[in-house]
Structures are given as C-alpha cells and as structure tokens.
Chain A
Amino acid sequence: MSSAKLVAESGKILDAASKDAPLTVRGLTVSYGNKPAVFSIDASIPVGSMTAIIGPNGAGKSTFLKGALGVVPRLSGEVRIFGKLFEDARDRVAYVPQRASVDWDFPARVIDVVLMGLYGSVGLFRLWRARHREQAMECLERVGMADFAERQIGQLSGGQQQRVFLARALAQNAEFYLLDEPFAGVDAATERAIVSVLKELKTEGRTVVCVHHDLSTVAEYFDRVLLINVRRIAEGPVETTFTAENLQETYGGRLAATHIDELHLA
C-alpha cells in the first residue's frame, strides 16, 4: 500500500468517526531537533469525558497538547477538533498552558489576564469594555479569586496564578478544555477549587483533558486516561486502562512496585 493512500484512508477514517469527538488524533509526531518528542500518537477523546494524560518527565505530554493545537509545528499526523481542523474550531477550545511558561513579572493585574480569555468576543481593533469586565469578574468568582482582581499578577502565589489561568479559560466559554499540569505546585485548597470547577464543566457536558502528574489522584479526579511515553501506551476508561501493567510499560520500570501498590488501580 502506498503511503499516499494510507494518508487518504486515515483522513477518511477521521472524518467519519470524529464528527462529535472533541479531539481525534492520528499519527501525531512532533520533534524538537532530530529527536521526536511524541511519535505517531493516536488518541480519541469522547464528549463529556475527563481525561488525564499520564507519563514520565519528558514523555511528551505537553508536546502532545501543543502539537494537537498547532502551538508547535507538527512533523506529521492529523488532528480533528469536533471533526474540523483546529483553525475552524478554535472558539470551541480553551487551552491552559503551564503556569511556569509565562513571566509573571509582566505588568498586568489579575483582571487583565482574565480579560485575555475574552479576546474572541472583543473584535479586531477594539478594546475590552465594561461588559467584558463583568464577565471576567464572574469567572474570577468561580475560582474564588474575585477579591484579587486588581492585584498585580507577580504578587500571587503559585496556586492563585493557576486559578487565574483557569478563570481566563472559563472566560473563553469553550466546550473543550485542555490544561497543561493544572495541579503542578499548587496548594491543597487550590487543587480542590480547580477539581470542583473541572467537575462542574463536566456536569455541563463539556470535555476536559489534563496533563497530570499525581498518579494517586487519577482515579478520584478523572474517568479516562491516556498513557504516553513518546509513543501511546494505552488509552481508555480508568477502570480498565489505569492498570499496573500499563503503568509499568509507561514508566519503563522507573515506578517502584511499592508505589504502584498504593495506587487505587483497576
């Protein structure tokens, strides 16, 4: 079979199977320099699910998200968001980058960052208006940060910064939320606040995908997992896929057996 035919066939499969799926990925490969960060990954995220992307450091979890959204260039692979190219479904997606990827010394207040999430509803050559401020305040309310609206972002704790990022994503009023390590380095109160907002989103029928590090909370927070280590190891419901075998394969023996025993595995 020629490779051109392969591409065409996989394209057909994507179009047929993914009309409603928030995210369908076939053969996603992204490389930094000569080394692939993620290699030929397939994934399919169903509507209304909460999926944790799990894998060791350097496994390409963040790169998978960025590649799927075209934030970093793809070497190959096809991606459909609700059956469309990302460019045509952008306003249905909210992406929350890693908190540490931005300079919090930037001259902005909390409200300014949340207003960035309303970019799509402001219009070309126009500025944010009063009704945008009201919407942004409602989003800050939902993450418990309304009192900090006028605060300079550099004065926030890590957990507060993460909540501001989540509020910015809420302001986008998307159907599909992709979060890169939302629980990294946050305090317990923030973690509870974020989980409760994410579960609200799920209740509203929205879809959530998180790059997640803490294996001990996977079963509690999520209903699906995508295990990757450069390649895809496994994908499916927590009950059937979040198993000791799959974790061993994902972490390549780097996970102590005693650690695995403590997890609430299937």
Chain B
Amino acid sequence: MIDNLITALGAEFVQLSLTPILIGILAAIACALPGNFLLLRRQALIGDAISHVVLPGIVAAFLVTGSITAVPMMLGAGGAAIVAVVMIEIVKRLGRVEPGAAMGLVFTTLFAVGVLFLEITDTSSVHLDVQHALLGNLESLIWFDAEGWGSLFDPEALATLPPQLPRLAIVLVGIGLFIFLFWKELKISTFDAAFAGAIGIRTRALGFALVVATAVAAVAAFDAVGSIIVIAMFVCPPASARLMTNQLGRQVGWSVVFATISAVLGYVFAGYGPGWFGSPYAVSAAGMIATVSGVILLLTCLFGPQRKRTGQRAEA
C-alpha cells in the first residue's frame, strides 16, 4: 500500500500530474475568491458572461496576430471582457432591463460571434477550437524536464515549468491581496451599498474593481483550463461555502477549501477514475473538476449546517 503510494507520487507524478493539479487548484481558487462576492451581490452571472466572451477575444487576437501565443491571447481575452462589461452597462441603461437580462443578451451574442469567427476562418493549423475553449487542455500542461521531487529545487528544471503556473500564481496573489486589503469595503458595500456610499466607500469604483478582478481570473484560468471550469468555480465553491457558515470570512475560507478539493479530486478522477472501471481512457479533467464542484454543492445542499435559513429577501 505505502509502496503503491510512493510509486504513485514518484517521478512520473511530478512530471505528468503535479503541474496540472497545481494549475487546476490555482485556477479554481482564483475564480472562487471573487465568486464569493459576486454570489452575494447576485451578480454570479457576470463570471459566466466574461468567461464566454473570452472566446471571440482570443479568436480576434489570433486573426490579428496569426499566432496563439499567450500574450496576444490574454490581451484579446481581456479586451473582449472589457467590451462585454461596457456593452452590458449600455444595454442595462438604454434598455432599462435588469442586469441578468443584459448579461444574458451580451454574452450569448458575443459567444456566438466567437463561434462564427472560428467557423469561417481557417484555424485548422493551430490548436484553437470550441472544444479547447470550453474544456481547455489541463492534461497537456505537463512538466517535461522534471525528474522527480528534487526538480522543485533545480533552477533549470523550474525554468521549464508550464508558463500558466506562474501566471496563475501571480493572478491569485493579486486577487488575494485585493480582497484582503479591501475586506471591510467589500463586506460593507456588498451588504448595504447605500450605507457604504454614505460613509464614504466608493462603491462604484469598488464594484468595478471586483469585475476587473473577475475578468483577470477568468482570462488567466480560461487559458489553462477552459471556460467550463471557470464558470463552475465562480459559483459552486462559494455557493457550497455559504451553506457551511454564516460568517463571510469563514465562507471565503470554505470556498478555498472546496475549490482545492474539486481541483484535486476532479483531476484524479478524470485521470484514474475510468481505469477503476476497466476503461483504458481518461476523461476531461476540466469537466471532471466542474462535476466534482457540482457534487460538493449538492452534498452541502443536503447536509450543510446552514442550509435552512430564515432571512428575508431584499425588497428593493
């Protein structure tokens, strides 16, 4: 048993599985953190919207630059996210419709534009298709030069880490700092925006910063793991966490725990799960991570200590 474990976590694990798992964890947490506030502000759909509009962004970036290297892809995705946020705001104001309707309108339209772009342009020479956009390619983010756990201390090997790993690490640190430094402001303005405005919190700027953090998380995670997992991680871990506790700080903590569990178990189930049932194939890790997060949400709905609540809905 222990021998098995050591083999399972040996050199091959470091080379093939360590980096995808770490990237999955970082992506999941980076999305779950802002997701907590989006959920409580009833804006969870904005994460969904942004992760969809990333597709036309990267296709447009490919059409302009002719390559699928990271920087133009990220810029295209970021640009599309900004366009989408502005369009949502315009539809909301001019159409005088509720935010959810404006988001639904904008992100389905832009996603359709992205699919259309893909269909009418020749992207067969590169790895850019709807499948990739939805599910990413987490399994391919392996660490070629790793020879075992020792490689973690080998600068040469570390230099060949998949670039998504440090990129997501930086994004996660940025989002974590934003939430930590503006904890009071985020908490107060999420609970009571009118009071927050009256005591001098710049609620509009803060709301915009939260959307920017969401977009950054979505774009960085999208590149590594696809949009399915991004959407799931914005919503499922925070929603599960809400059912575990009645305190915001603990909710955020639980969401990190659930995001991590989803990423690890999802990856393991996807890679090894089919084998347990005698199948030689593996299934999509991103899809399985999203599935695990959904199962966790189901379990917390059934057994979470705070699943029954008596609070009244806001009337306004």
> Which of B76-84, B118-126, B282-290, B308-316 forms contacts with chain A?
B308-316
List A30-44 residues whose CB lies under 8 Å from chain B: 33
Closest to B203 in A: A71
Interface string of B150-188 (1 = CB under 8 A from A): 000000000000000000000000000000010110011
How many of chain B's residues have a CB under 8 angstroms from any CB in A?
A: 33
> Which of B58-66, B132-140, B191-199, B212-220 forms contacts with chain A?
B191-199
CB–CB A116/B195 < 8 A: yes
Q: Which residues on the A side are within 8 Å of B201 (C-beta)? A: 119
Q: Which residues on the B side are within 8 Å of A69 (C-beta)? A: 197-198
Picked from B199, B250, B251, B311, the residue with its CB within 8 Å of the CB of A104 is B311
Q: Which residues on the B side are within 8 Å of A96 (C-beta)? A: 195
CB–CB A154/B191 < 8 A: no
A107 to B40 Cα, complex, angstroms: 9
Picked from A71, A87, A104, the residue with its CB within 8 Å of the CB of B194 is A71
CB–CB B197/A109 < 8 A: no
A154-B310 contact given A90-B200, A101-B316, A107-B251, CB 8 Å threshold: yes
Q: Which residues on the A side are within 8 Å of B198 (C-beta)? A: 69, 71, 90, 93, 95
A152 to B250 Cα, complex, angstroms: 13
Q: Does B260 contact A (CB under 8 A)?
A: no
Q: Does A120 contact B (CB under 8 A)?
A: yes
Interface string of A126-149 (1 = CB under 8 A from B): 011000000000000000000000
Q: Does A102 contact B (CB under 8 A)?
A: yes
**Nearest CB in chain B: distance from A31 CB, A:** 14
Interface string of A199-223 (1 = CB under 8 A from B): 0000000000000000000000000
> Which of B25-33, B44-52, B240-248 forms contacts with chain A?
B240-248
A113 to B246 Cα, complex, angstroms: 13
Closest to B42 in A: A103
A108-B246 contact given A33-B96, A90-B199, A119-B184, CB 8 Å threshold: yes
A33 to B96 Cα, complex, angstroms: 9
CB–CB A102/B245 < 8 A: no
Q: Which of A90, A105, A109, A125 has the most CB of B within 10 A?
A: A105
CB–CB B192/A120 < 8 A: no
How many of chain A's residues have a CB under 8 angstroms from any CB in B?
A: 37
Q: Which residues on the A side are within 8 Å of B250 (C-beta)? A: 107
Closest to A168 in B: B195
Q: Does A172 contact B (CB under 8 A)?
A: yes
Q: Which residues on the A side are within 8 Å of B262 (C-beta)? A: none
A109-B246 contact given A33-B96, A90-B200, A101-B192, CB 8 Å threshold: yes
A116 to B184 Cα, complex, angstroms: 8
A189 to B313 Cα, complex, angstroms: 24
**Nearest CB in chain A: distance from B243 CB, A:** 10
Q: Does A264 contact B (CB under 8 A)?
A: no
**Nearest CB in chain B: distance from A113 CB, A:** 7
Q: Which residues on the B side are within 8 Å of A20 (C-beta)? A: none
Closest to B41 in A: A103
Closest to A116 in B: B188
Picked from A70, A95, A112, the residue with its CB within 8 Å of the CB of B195 is A95
Q: Which residues on the B side are within 8 Å of A119 (C-beta)? A: 184, 188, 199, 201
Q: Does B190 contact A (CB under 8 A)?
A: yes
**Nearest CB in chain B: distance from A152 CB, A:** 4
Interface string of B285-304 (1 = CB under 8 A from A): 00000000000000000000
Instruction: Add 7 more A-B contacts to A98-B316, A107-B247 (CB < 8 A).
Output: A69-B197, A101-B194, A105-B312, A106-B40, A107-B245, A116-B192, A172-B199
Report 24 cross-chain contacts, Cβ distance below 8 Å, ordered by A residue. Answer: A33-B96, A69-B197, A71-B194, A71-B198, A90-B200, A95-B194, A95-B195, A101-B192, A103-B40, A104-B312, A106-B40, A106-B311, A107-B245, A107-B247, A109-B246, A112-B247, A112-B248, A116-B188, A119-B188, A127-B184, A154-B310, A154-B312, A155-B310, A168-B195
Smallest CB-CB A-B distances: 9 pairs: A154-B311, A105-B311, A95-B198, A152-B246, A104-B311, A100-B315, A103-B314, A97-B194, A101-B316
Chain B residues with CB under 8 Å of chain A are 40, 96, 181, 183-184, 187-188, 190-192, 194-195, 197-201, 242, 245-248, 250-251, 306, 309-316
